[in-house]
Chain A
Amino acid sequence: GNSVTQMEGPVTLSEEAFLTINCTYTATGYPSLFWYVQYPGEGLQLLLKATKADDKGSNKGFEATYRKETTSFHLEKGSVQVSDSAVYFCALSVTGRRALTFGSGTRLQVQP
């Protein structure tokens, strides 16, 4: 079956630090990969996505590259801000099945 594994949190960083949140997946076929972010009290928002191998998704300074050889989609940001504090979810969808399979979520706390 399909599954997503992401690093457990919380991840606590100082402002301007480099961020990596690891995500690996298992899927049949060639999935699309997503990162969603959930700010306190809000719904999940799409942060970025990639639909095929070697694609790089990017948004708001965050990046993730679809690595087929390592089945990974790690999230990175060069310099985090306090406003980036949230829960980040890695997810996949497989063609023909429109629902998403989520990782467990990683809470990021950025301190000033």
Chain B
Amino acid sequence: GAVVSQHPSRVICKSGTSVKIECRSLDFQATTMFWYRQFPKQSLMLMATSNEGSKATYEQGVEKDKFLINHASLTLSTLTVTSAHPEDSSFYICSARGPDASTDTQYFGPGTRLTVL
């Protein structure tokens, strides 16, 4: 149980286009999901906290108009990278807090590698 999926796993796009990444909790409901970004050989950096039915909370330095997050249901959060540029190329990972709200355990998706040409 507690499986999180991401789609697509890999995407290549042209500069200036927008890309949507989906994060789904497959067998549990997640009121809170998190979006992280990972640069090569570096740590995962939290971008934003996605809350079902309300606006996402962005970390300092993350442009909310560039990285649009929508948490439309208890099992789906989407991250849209708008007007992508080569510097947005990265590995994007989502996670969801598990069905047991009393724990801090998070379950992670496999990640999406974005390459902007």
Contacts and interface: CB of A to CB of B under 8 A. Distances in A.
Contact of A103 (B43, B93, B105, B107): B43
Interface of A: 4, 32, 34, 36, 41-46, 49, 51, 89, 93, 98-105
Given A99-B49, A102-B44, A105-B43, A44 B97 contact: no
Given A98-B32, A98-B49, A102-B43, A93 B104 contact: yes
A43 B110 contact: yes
A41 B44 CA distance: 16
A89 B42 CA distance: 11
A49 B104 contact: yes
B32 to A, nearest CB: 6
Given A43-B4, A103-B43, A104-B43, A32 B110 contact: no
A98 B48 CA distance: 11
